[in-house]
Chain A
């Protein structure tokens, strides 16, 4: 519509312009003022038409008032300004001609009333609607959050209830608020009520480490965020629950401490297992005594004790246990050890005392305290006293003696290994002095002594380095005085201790298993030596020994390769089996079953001679001799000892005569050891002994000396 200048349309627009200029500053619309003015034009037109209509409709004012609200004129100032505009300009710009003027003023006033009412009603509606909308939105949002929260809570509750570890929540006063099923089960079942209302502080246990409750206090005081301890609890049924316990402090949004959260893992089983493993690792399975490990722990502790503290140590080794073990069997030996262990245990009853088994027939007793000098001697007396009563095993009364080495001194001076070495050396002094006694350690003796320990350690290297050598002692035919053979005796040329006899290291080699390679080496060397002798003999003008005697230890006897190794060695050297005699101790064969005898029988069948060594020292069953594959008895030197002097002991004489007669009736040759005088030799010859060996003829020596001996003898 094109507005004619100052025509009705133009005037209407000018009214709208004035109106918009008045109201625009107080609106919140994002329209520009000209755009806003365009929105007012239809409203102005409605007012204008109402002003001039034939029938006056004041309701038009209501509609215009409501429309203002719709145009976001929600500030009441917009209404005020609009009414001002209508009041001042509506009739002026939109009124009719002439006499209507007064009537139009009345109409304008009524339109204003209606506009105000319409505006108020629309604003009220809009306000209520928007309030409703925002409340609904807030509710919806809260509902969504609550739902999500509920889902989260449900999830957390499932975690809480389903967790395999125990979870408990308590307030900072220690009141238990909530616990989960796993925790209840750890405490032996029962309802949550049984724990709820409890106080955390009541969960003390006698095994609580001192720091457990200090950490607790720090946590509830807010000085610590969490702690982790191993803690025991008393279950209602009186048993103990061990746990790995982690306690954390829970703070609220403002960082104020609120709750304590405990997570506990049941470690009872694991702990028991550990204890059992620990027990097994520290105790001897046979006797139940503490073992070497535990003994060393205690000894180290005793040696680390403070000023004024002393320790006393008795190192006990049974005398002759090996013989018992060998003759009665391991089962009997074990029972004996158990009995001895019980007796020793009864000797140490005071706190700070202990008895332990180090292995084999070696035991130690340890005492600690400020005054052990006298106490350790008394202890040694008690131990020897405890051994004095014979032990009954399998219907036999066995008298077991022991040798004790005592070390006593102040704590803090020596290490455990040194102390034990000293005790070991001292024990050997007691043993060397005849046994059934104790000796007290002294530094000088220690320094001189060669410990079994160091020898044991040096043994394997010694074989590799060729520190062993063999001496031969001739076996002389008593009938014609000719040298019939020689016994091979192994020696160790120890770099520090010089030449050591077999009694010093063979038992150690047996303990460590080195006896097998060492024995094989001795056999090889001896067989090679026998071949040399035979080659010399073939070369003529040789009157030395042709046969060689080699000792077999019990260990070698049971070694599965004994027969094969022996055959290999003989074949490699090209020596016939008849040139070899293997000496086996009586104690190793008595009580031996067929399984043990089988390899010996095979060797005997091949032509190897088997000699029964040290005959007469074991618990021999003479009737048993028949079933042994032996061809020679070697009488122990103890029988010949009584014949060294004139007149000879008639009892010894009778015994030897008896044995010789028995042996010959079984077709066994008899060799006597330890012949030291011509008189002895003569007597033994008369008694019918076949062969003799001893210093009277020759000490053990290098193989070439035997030839000389034979020459001397022949002369």
Chain B
């Protein structure tokens, strides 16, 4: 693997990784004790974190199925993490066997894991790159090999933008990606927010502190700010809504109350 210029000079697995913490929330064992300690601390503030993650996964599953239903079978999943189960290519393949999936993550361990999982998969690949440098993603030979940017693409930014600080211009990065996508492409996005979280913000803030401590700040944004990521997109019904309210398969009252934490939405380029 060619080491991108921005990649860390060494990999320190004594530092918690958000990708492995995410895996832990979802009951996986693709994690180390430091990850679990950090995750447990965060769960001390927001006990329902696993449910929020689960709701994210469930939304992504619905959105991927929606995309395939709309005829979009190319997926660019940035911030893919460690796809323990129900990952995009599994869901997409279930709906459309020829779906192509490009995973992108900046966590080298997550990337290495994905490489192992996808080793024999011709229609799925993983790229070590950073959302903050969209140009590197769009011009990488992996992306250009697998994804035809002249045809619609479903761009998945699931549970990633809340890890990009304003100083790193997340709106600019999202806009740059949008400009590279063919008409009819979809933006599938979720984002953490204090809104609808069934806890007082000062309590939920404890979890934010944990991410601060591991030098991977979690940026809680308002619905209004999250909606700005969809600039240049037409919102797909029902718009930008709490996670579980986006085209639910079941009655919302069946869902865990934490499932409403954070926003989800899908937009389509004209």
Contacts and interface: CB of A to CB of B under 8 A. Distances in A.
Interface of A: 25, 27-35, 72, 74-75, 126-127, 129-131, 133-134, 136-138, 140-142, 144-149
A contact patch SS = helix
A131 B23 CA distance: 12
B112 A140 contact: yes
B137 to A, nearest CB: 19
A34 B2 CA distance: 45
Contact of B82 (A127, A131, A134, A146): A134
Given A72-B85, A74-B28, A141 B112 contact: yes
Given A34-B250, A130-B29, A134-B29, A141 B11 contact: yes
B40 interface: no
A704 B112 CA distance: 116
B10 A149 contact: yes
B54 A137 contact: no
B28 A140 contact: no
27 contacts: A28-B25, A28-B54, A30-B54, A30-B57, A31-B61, A31-B86, A32-B250, A35-B249, A74-B27, A126-B29, A129-B29, A130-B28, A133-B30, A134-B20, A134-B32, A134-B82, A136-B112, A136-B116, A137-B110, A138-B32, A140-B116, A141-B111, A142-B11, A145-B8, A145-B9, A148-B1, A149-B10
A136 B32 CA distance: 12
Residue of A30, A126, A138 ringed by the most chain B CB atoms within 10 A: A30
A402 B264 CA distance: 106
Contact of B3 (A32, A127, A133, A145): A145
Given A134-B109, A136-B116, A141-B109, A33 B254 contact: yes
Q: Report the 6 A-B pairs with minimum CB-CB distance, sorted nearest first.
A: A148-B3, A137-B113, A130-B29, A30-B57, A74-B27, A141-B108
B26 interface: yes
Contacts of A32: 58, 249-250
Contacts of B60: 30
Interface residues of B, number: 41
A30 B54 CA distance: 6
A296 B23 CA distance: 84
Contacts of A137: 30, 109-110, 112-113, 115-116
Interface in B7-58: 7-11, 13, 20, 25-32, 50, 53-54, 57-58
Contacts of A147: 3
Contact of A72 (B7, B9, B27, B30): B27
Given A30-B54, A32-B58, A134-B32, A142 B116 contact: no
B113 A133 contact: yes
A125 to B, nearest CB: 11
A697 to B, nearest CB: 103
A74 B116 CA distance: 22
B50 A28 contact: yes
B86 A29 contact: yes
Contacts of A148: 1-3, 7
Nearest to B26: A28
B10 A142 contact: yes
B3 A75 contact: no
A463 B3 CA distance: 81
Nearest to B51: A25
Contacts of B254: 33
Contacts of A130: 28-30, 84
A144 B29 contact: no
A136 B3 CA distance: 18
B253 to A, nearest CB: 12
Contacts of A136: 112, 116
B256 interface: yes
A604 to B, nearest CB: 91
Contacts of B111: 141
A75 B50 CA distance: 11
B57 to A, nearest CB: 4
Residue of A133, A137, A142, A147 ringed by the most chain B CB atoms within 10 A: A137
Contacts of A74: 27-29
Nearest to B117: A133
Contacts of B84: 72, 130
A420 B257 CA distance: 102
Residue of B1, B8, B53 ringed by the most chain A CB atoms within 10 A: B1
Given A141-B11, A145-B3, A149-B9, A30 B108 contact: no
A144 B249 contact: no
Contacts of A75: 27
A144 B86 contact: no
Residue of B7, B10, B109 ringed by the most chain A CB atoms within 10 A: B109
Contact of A134 (B31, B53, B54, B249): B31
A72 B27 CA distance: 7
A30 B110 contact: no
A142 B250 CA distance: 44
B249 A145 contact: no
A29 B84 CA distance: 10
Interface string B80-102: 00101110000000000000000
A45 to B, nearest CB: 23
Given A27-B27, A134-B32, 19 more contacts: A25-B256, A30-B86, A31-B86, A74-B27, A129-B29, A130-B30, A130-B84, A131-B29, A131-B30, A134-B31, A137-B30, A137-B110, A137-B116, A138-B11, A141-B109, A142-B10, A145-B11, A148-B1, A149-B3
Contacts of A30: 54, 57-58, 60-61, 85-86
Contact of B13 (A33, A127, A138): A138
A74 B23 CA distance: 12
A129 B116 CA distance: 13
A78 to B, nearest CB: 9
A407 to B, nearest CB: 71
B16 to A, nearest CB: 13
B155 to A, nearest CB: 20
A658 B116 CA distance: 126
A137 B116 CA distance: 8
Contacts of A134: 20, 29-32, 82, 109, 113
A51 B130 CA distance: 55
Contacts of B13: 138, 142
A28 B84 CA distance: 11
A146 B111 CA distance: 16
B141 to A, nearest CB: 17
A138 to B, nearest CB: 5
Contacts of A142: 10-11, 13
